[in-house]
Structures are given as C-alpha cells and as structure tokens.
Chains A and B, each alone.
Chain A
Amino acid sequence: MARSTGTAAFGFDQYVADIQPPGLLYAALARSTKAYAQLEKVDLAGALSTPGVLAAVDGAVFHRKVGMIPTSRDEPPLALDVVRYVGEPVAAVVAVTPEAARHGADRVRILYRSLPFIPDIQASATGATTIHASMPDNILRDVRLSFGPVDECFSSAQRIVSGSYSYAGSTHAAMETHGAVAWWRPEQRLWIWSSTQSPFHLQHNLACALDLDPAAVRVLKPKVGGGFGGKCETFSHEIVTAQLSKMLNRPVRLILTREEVFYTHRGRHHALMDLRLALGSNHEILAIDADISLDGGAYAGLGVVTTHYAGQLLAIPYKLKALRFRSRRYFTNAPPAGPKRGHGSVQIRFAMERLIDKAAVSLGIDPLVWRRELALAPGASTVNELKIGSTGFGACLDRVAGASGWFDSSVEGEALGVAGSAYISGAAFPIFPNRLPHSQAMLRADRSGLFTLYTGVAEIGQGTEHAMAQLAAETLGQERHRVTVLAGDTDACPVDLGSYSSRVTLMAGKSVIAAAQEVRKQLLRAASARLKIPVEELDIIPGRIVSKADEGRGLSLKKAIALAEEQAGLVLGTGHYRPDMKPAHYKGSALGPSPAYSFSAAVARVSVDKELGLIRVLDLWLAHDCGTAIDRKSVLAQLYGCAIMGYGEALLESTGLVGSVTDPVALIDYGVPLVGDLPRIHPLIVEAPDPEGPRGAKEVGEGPLLPVIPAIANAASRALGVDLDSIPLFPDMVLEMYSP
C-alpha cells in the first residue's frame, strides 16, 4: 500500500468555510434585483423580526467608499442611494444560523425607482445615461499612448491589415466560493480569515474602509480553493463581516453561494478591439495601431490596470517600430469586471494573434515561421521601453512546431493553428507607489534541525509554498521536507504583496533565496570555527556540513545549528526584493514593466463540423518559457491548468455578451470544461533562464493561457477559410461568422 502524504484528498485542509471560532454567527447579504435604480427605501424591519436574526445593516453604517486603486475608490461596501448592477449588495443580516441569516436577508424590503440601465459598451458610449455622476462620459480611464513614428509607418507601409475583434466576459469559477470569517477580538483587534489572493492588500483596505489602524487588523489566509484573479480585490463580504463582528463582538461568517460569485467575481472584461498593422517590405511589423474598449461593469476595481495592460502588452513578443493605442474602460450596469488569469492581456492577445494570421494569409507566408522571424531578441527594449531579459519565444515556437508536425502535410478536414505570447513576471511597480520591498522573507533554523520559512506569499493552489520551500532547501543544500512554510498570516509573516501579476515566484523567490543564504552563512561560520576549516572549504550537504576535500570530516547540521545558536543566539536570515527599476518618462509607464517576461506558444489541431458550427479541438501543444522550472511537476500542472482554462474560454464559456443581468448565474449553465470535453494536451517546458529570476525562474501561472485561445481560433479559421474574430466560438456564433 502506498501512503498519501498530502492533506487535500481526505479533506483535512481547512478552507474559510471550515473555520469555526466559538460563538460563531452567520451573515447573509440582500442584493439588488435591479441593474440600475435609485434606492427609495431599504426596510430592515422584516429582517430584524425574523427568528434568529440579531442585527441588520444597510449602507449607512459605512463612511467610506472602497476600491483597490487609491485614485478610483468608488464602491460603497453596501449600496447607498443607488444600485448599479444586479447582485450589488444592499444590506447585511447576521443571525445565529446560516438559514436564519438567509431568511432575514430575503425579508429585507428594498424599494427601487428604476433607471434606464446601460447594458453594454455601445450604450455606455452614447453617454445618454451616466452611471457615476463624477464620470459624465461613463469612462473610467481613457489611455492614449503613442510610441515611435506611427503615422509615418502607416504611410510608408507596404501593406496594411486590419480587423475588428470581440471577446466575451468570462468568470474564474474557482471551486471554492469566496468567503470570510471576521472576529472582532476582546483585545480590540480584528482577525479575519478570508479566501483571498492578497492578504496584505486586504489588511490595508479593511483598515481604510473601517477607519482602523492597519496594525489592528490581522488577516489569516487559510487554504484557498483556487483564485485565478477572482480573489484579488477587497470585497463587500469581507468589509461587512468585519463591521458586523465589531458591532456584536462575536465572530461572523459569510460564505458566498455559487450564484453570488457570479455577481462578485470581477471576471474578464468583455472587449471590443480594432487593430491595424503596418507591414514593411520584408514582412516586418512597422507599427500597431489599436483601439480597445472594455466593459468594466459598474465599478472601477482594478480596472485602471486592465486598461493600461491591454495596450502596453501589445509591445511584446514581436519587434515593432511604433505602437499607438487608445484603451478605454466603460462603465456599464453589469457586475464589475476585474483581473482574471492573464489580466488585461488575454483579449488583445487574441486580437493580435488573429490579425497576424490574417496578415500571413494575405502575404502567403507560414504564420509560425513568420512569428519566429518577428520575435524580440533577448535583451531587447520595446518601443514603450519594456526591457526584455531572457526569451525562449523562438524555442517555444520550435517546440510546438516539432511536436505538432506543423510542417507535415495536413489531414483532410483538420487544421492546425498557432499563436504566441508573452507575459510579465510581476509588476515592477506596486499599486501604492512607494519604495518599500515587494516581498520579504524570514528563515529560521532551530536546533531540531528544522528550517521554518516565514513568508507573506498567498498560496491559492498554484504551488507557491512548495516552490518557496524548494528554493530555500536548495540554497541550504537540504531536502525540501526540512523546510516548513509559515505563510498567510499578516501577524506572523513579513509582507509579500500577494498572488497577482504573476509576481510570486520571481519576487518572493528572490527574497527567500537571500534569507536562506544568510542562514547558510551563519551555519558555515559556526561549523568552520568548530572544525577549524575555512568557510570556503566547507560544503553543506543534506543533514551535514563537510569538508569539500574530505567528506568524512564534518559535523551534523543539527550540531552546526546548535553551535551557531551558542555563538550568536537565534539563527535567522532575512531577505527582501524590490525590482531595481525606474518608470520611463511618460504617463502610464508604470504599467507594463516587469523584471522578466515569460513567453509561450501554442498549436491547436481542430476539426470543424460545418453544418453545426462545432469546433473540436483534437490536440493542443503548449510550450512555455518559465526561465527555470523550479519544480517540474508544478510547472506541468500549471500548463495543464492554463490549457484547459484557455480551451474553456475559447469554446465554452461566457458570462453573457449583454451585461444588464449576469447570465448565467448557476454553475450548471456555465461551461466549465469537464474531463470528457478535453483535447489531448501536450505541455512542453522551455527554459531560458533570466538573470533577474531566482535561479533564472520566471512565471508560469498565467502566461501559458494567452496563446491557447488564439491558437484554437486560428486553427478553426484555417479549417473554415473564414476569419473567426469573436470569442467564445459557440456553434451558433461560428455559423453566423461562417456562411458557406
């Protein structure tokens, strides 16, 4: 019999819904049923008279609007005077059982005066109705940037190709729904367990929302059942549980239902994109000109970031002389959109890769070979001043070409499609501009021979804790199981900004290695003194410190730790990381730069049923340059995850093109890929170590998603001989685009 050593399979892992402090109370939210309305009255009497209900509150108890970006805090924790989307929280009820809380919330009487609502970008752009009084044109951010001689490039172009693209919204659908347990403690501090990707942002934002000293807030991140970007922001249910707990001096739990997640999710922005390419006589791209409109839903959230990324990341992975984009994020009466895996970049990458294929067809050249020629070189600087370090993009294309038999003759009724992409390994500049480290780590050795790593990283299933333990262990010359990770507690762990922008491996990794190096030094020094062998002549091997010349001479690691403790007390190493970069000299230059860029390429093999418009993906080859694979199994798991999520996004998923009512609101109606749906997936690891990465590593959690969607669309377009320029490729939409 084999023995399981994991904690997940038998259900031992504790997620937020499993946290049960003594005296726990339960909260539920009453939500808007209108897309846009004045709140005439929020009547809590029915809720308060419900058996088991202890309290009910509406938006009046809160004094501040919240939001992730300091310059766009536009969201009341509970709606005040106006509701702006179906599902917006209006009131909260707390009771002795979850059922009583739900009944109470259902009995909150909300009187609305409906307003004409804005269902989509087109309606928003007319400006006939406004969603926020302070934003009369319904635009959160209108970014116009231009780099290089764009107009000259277009006027001197050998050829200009253009296209219009549409990309539907979609949702993360992490298996664990969001939730929080807040506990206002007798010592006048707030403890909050939350299913979050960014504990330190939550700490800060909660303190702001409730006028608390951040030091009074302790965020505890238990196991998190998936995030994919959907658990980055600070949410109403977090603020509300905290407030209710403070009012009642008892712990309060609120776990969202699956339906509520569809309102709360901050899913992928629906995007409309117009793109033009100016091509030179040698088929080089002279310039890109893009016009991007994003459906941001009712509130800002992280939308400013999305708006910039959508344009900025057009500068990679291909060489260009000039780039111009206009990117606008519109308010509509839909649930707010936000970051989802590949934030800001997935939609525009689809458009760009479709247009490259279209251009290749018109030029009569091979789209894969062409992409290879267009690839940015290592060390390149882009027109918008992104600095590329290592790139394995060419190798990614070679790998997918070789594995898929790209150059072999094709099978009747099938087609191959290719796409490429690049992504950031962490945003170089933080959301709150400051000079503080983005990540810090602390490593302690104790005389038992165990190493404890304290880090603020937020494991959400991507394998971060595992990777950090691995890096510490390698630096110390030990096996991984010697390092335990203590993370996800803002009281105990030094700051790490959180699991977003694919920053953790690189940034936390660097700080962990630095901390481990310090401990290593202390142990070598202690051993050197005892063994009377100079430090340079010693080596650390699993469990021992030995002479390089004679492995027989040495002492046990435990002994070395004890000696180090004798000499100088606690054996502790610390490390920190802040990208050593300065923004370029243009407004908006803080978004896009990263210490290192990952690269990916995909080839899809599809067959299409022309009668039904049904696209079948038979194979998906996905190559990703992650710099160095710190843990190959985790890297493979991420590649599969990206391939499947991308596949779902291309063919099965949509949160509705019209945003007035989120549709669908049940998991069963939303096309999450299941085991039987899948193509054969062939993950291919490419390693182009980056000088900026820990042991050369770059990200793998998000970037590999990007090429999957356009590779499928390109393959299907080739199979049908038409341009499929809209995602998702639902059969009826395919038939609409393809009329034989």
Chain B
Amino acid sequence: MGTAHANFTVNGRLHRLCVDPGEILLDTLRHRLGLTDVKWGCREGACGACTVLIDGRATPSCLRLTATLSGAHILTAGGLIAEPLAQDIAAALENKHAFQCGFCAPGILVELFALFSRAPQPSADQLEQALSGHVCRCGGYPLMMEALLKLNAP
C-alpha cells in the first residue's frame, strides 16, 4: 500500500504523505494524523459529521480521496479554535443549548464558519442551505437557527 503522494497542510502544518489511492481524507485525518476532532456518522456523504474546510470550502471529508488533495489547505474543527468567528458561532450555539450529544457539532461548526466567512450576515435561507447537509438526530435545528439568526443581526 501507499502508492500515491499527497502534500498538503492541515491546520497550518505541512504533511507529506504516501497513501493508498483509495484512502479517504476522513481516514487520513483520523487514523494517520490522529485528528479525532473530525467525527463520522456514515462514511457516505449523508450526515455531514466529517465536514472539514478544504481551501475554504466546507466538504465532507469522507467524500474526498486524500491522493487528489496535493497543494490543498485543510482546516478541521479543532483547527478553528483560535478564530474569533468560530468562537462566536460556537458560543451562540452553546448558549441556546443547540447541541445535545454534540456528535454533529464539529461538522456543523466548520460548515457555519465557511458560511459566515463569505456571508457575515447570512439569511435564514442561506443558513438552512448550509445546515441542509448535516444530520442532527438530537433535533437541534430550530435552536441552531434561532441562535444563528440572532448572531447575524447587526
């Protein structure tokens, strides 16, 4: 195994990896790099739990092959810790008690960070669209929407 090369940064750190061509980014991040802040609920693109930023775009990491990502800049939820915007979003959601089991939270934070980065005051439609790829089985959606609409009010 390990026949393809991939060089990219994750949370600012450069990695040069030799990977199996079929390896998905999710496994690279969790198993190879030990980034357990990336969660997974399906490994088939259906739940959004594994979402990371790839060059600023929120993407389910289970749907990307690591070998195709040379040159990319990847950020995980844990990598956003020093971002004031991410702190604002997380605090607003926590304040509404939007997360219960919390398993969907890192993926959702990454998604919202991407959204607020390009649209600092997203509309309800934009918020819904961003959240539409994320399953929260605990049913936090209405509380998330409430928290986020308040956050974007100037």
Interchain CB contact under 8 A, B100 and A668:
no
Residues of B within 8 A of A668 (CB): 42, 44-46
Which residues of chain A in 649-696 are interfacial with respect to chain B, using CB atoms and an 8 Å cutoff?
666-668, 672-676, 678, 681
Interchain CB contact under 8 A, A678 and B49:
no
Interchain CB contact under 8 A, A175 and B94:
no
Give Cα A3–Cα B141 distance, bound, in whole angstroms.
21
Q: Is A6 an interface residue (CB 8 A)?
A: yes
What is the CB-to-nearest-CB distance from B47 to chain A, in angstroms, rounded to a whole number?
A: 6
Residues of B within 8 A of A258 (CB): 41-44
| Residue in B42, B100, B109, B138 whose beta carbon sits within 8 Å of that of A9 in the complex | B109
Interchain CB contact under 8 A, B99 and A667:
no
What is the CB-to-nearest-CB distance from A700 to chain B, in angstroms, rounded to a whole number?
A: 12
Closest to A228 in B: B137
Closest to A173 in B: B137
Residues of A within 8 A of B93 (CB): 9
Given contacts A1-B84, A2-B92, contact A10 B37 (CB under 8 A): yes
What band does the interface of chain B fall in when counting residues whose beta carbon is under 8 Å from A?
A: 35 or more
Given contacts A12-B37, A176-B41, contact A226 B101 (CB under 8 A): yes
Give Cα A176–Cα B88 distance, bound, in whole angstroms.
26
Q: Is A157 an interface residue (CB 8 A)?
A: no
Given contacts A10-B109, A226-B103, A667-B42, contact A636 B143 (CB under 8 A): yes
Interchain CB contact under 8 A, A666 and B46:
yes
| Residue in A4, A640, A674 whose beta carbon sits within 8 Å of that of B135 in the complex | A674
Of the listed residues B41, B94, B105, B137, the one surrounded by the most CB atoms of chain A closer than 10 A to its CB is B137
Given contacts A9-B93, A9-B105, A681-B142, contact A667 B47 (CB under 8 A): yes
Interchain CB contact under 8 A, B103 and A11:
no
- Which of A112-120, A441-449, A459-467, A714-722 has 4 or more CB atoms under 8 Å from chain B? A459-467
Interchain CB contact under 8 A, B42 and A4:
no
Interchain CB contact under 8 A, B94 and A4:
yes
Which residues of chain B in 82-138 are interfacial with respect to chain A, using CB atoms and an 8 Å cutoff?
84, 86-94, 96-106, 108-109, 128, 131-132, 134-138
Interchain CB contact under 8 A, A225 and B141:
no
Which residues of chain A in 605-654 are interfacial with respect to chain B, using CB atoms and an 8 Å cutoff?
633-634, 636-638, 640-645
Residues of A in contact (CB 8 Å), total: 57
Give Cα A643–Cα B92 distance, bound, in whole angstroms.
22
Closest to B105 in A: A8
Interchain CB contact under 8 A, A13 and B102:
yes
Q: Is B61 an interface residue (CB 8 A)?
A: no
Give Cα A375–Cα B81 distance, bound, in whole angstroms.
52
Interchain CB contact under 8 A, B78 and A10:
yes
Given contacts A1-B84, A10-B37, contact A461 B139 (CB under 8 A): no
Given contacts A11-B38, A461-B102, A667-B42, contact A637 B88 (CB under 8 A): no
Binary CB contact string for chain A from 337 to 366 against chain B (1 if under 8 A, 0 otherwise): 000000000000000000000000000000
Give Cα A504–Cα B42 distance, bound, in whole angstroms.
30
Interchain CB contact under 8 A, A675 and B42:
no
Which residues of chain A in 1-25 are interfacial with respect to chain B, using CB atoms and an 8 Å cutoff?
1-15, 17-18, 20
Residues of B within 8 A of A666 (CB): 42, 44, 46
Interchain CB contact under 8 A, A224 and B141:
no
Residues of B within 8 A of A641 (CB): 100, 138-140
Closest to B49 in A: A175
Given contacts A18-B36, A675-B132, contact A224 B106 (CB under 8 A): no
Interchain CB contact under 8 A, B43 and A257:
yes
Interchain CB contact under 8 A, B36 and A14:
yes
Q: Is B13 an interface residue (CB 8 A)?
A: no
Interchain CB contact under 8 A, A225 and B99:
no
Q: Is B59 an interface residue (CB 8 A)?
A: no
Residues of A within 8 A of B142 (CB): 640, 678, 681
Of the listed residues B41, B43, B94, B139, the one surrounded by the most CB atoms of chain A closer than 10 A to its CB is B139
Q: Is A174 an interface residue (CB 8 A)?
A: yes
Binary CB contact string for chain A from 227 to 264 against chain B (1 if under 8 A, 0 otherwise): 01000000000000000000000000000011000000
Q: Is A588 an interface residue (CB 8 A)?
A: no
Give Cα A523–Cα B141 distance, bound, in whole angstroms.
44
What is the CB-to-nearest-CB distance from B28 to chain A, in angstroms, rounded to a whole number?
A: 13
Given contacts A258-B44, A666-B46, contact A461 B135 (CB under 8 A): no
Q: Is A218 an interface residue (CB 8 A)?
A: no
Q: Is B80 an interface residue (CB 8 A)?
A: yes
Give Cα A414–Cα B56 distance, bound, in whole angstroms.
44
Q: Is A223 an interface residue (CB 8 A)?
A: yes
Residues of B within 8 A of A11 (CB): 36-39, 76-78, 105-106
Residues of B within 8 A of A461 (CB): 100-103, 138
Beyond A463-B97, A681-B142, 8 additional contacts (C-beta under 8 Å) are A4-B90, A174-B137, A461-B101, A461-B138, A637-B138, A641-B100, A667-B42, A675-B134
Report A's interface with B, CB cutoff 8 A.
Answer: 1-15, 17-18, 20, 98, 172-177, 223-226, 228, 257-258, 460-463, 633-634, 636-638, 640-645, 666-668, 672-676, 678, 681
Report B's interface with A, CB cutoff 8 A.
Answer: 31, 34, 36-47, 49, 76-78, 80-81, 84, 86-94, 96-106, 108-109, 128, 131-132, 134-145
Q: Which 3 A-B pairs give the minimum distances between C-beta atoms?
A: A11-B37, A461-B101, A8-B102
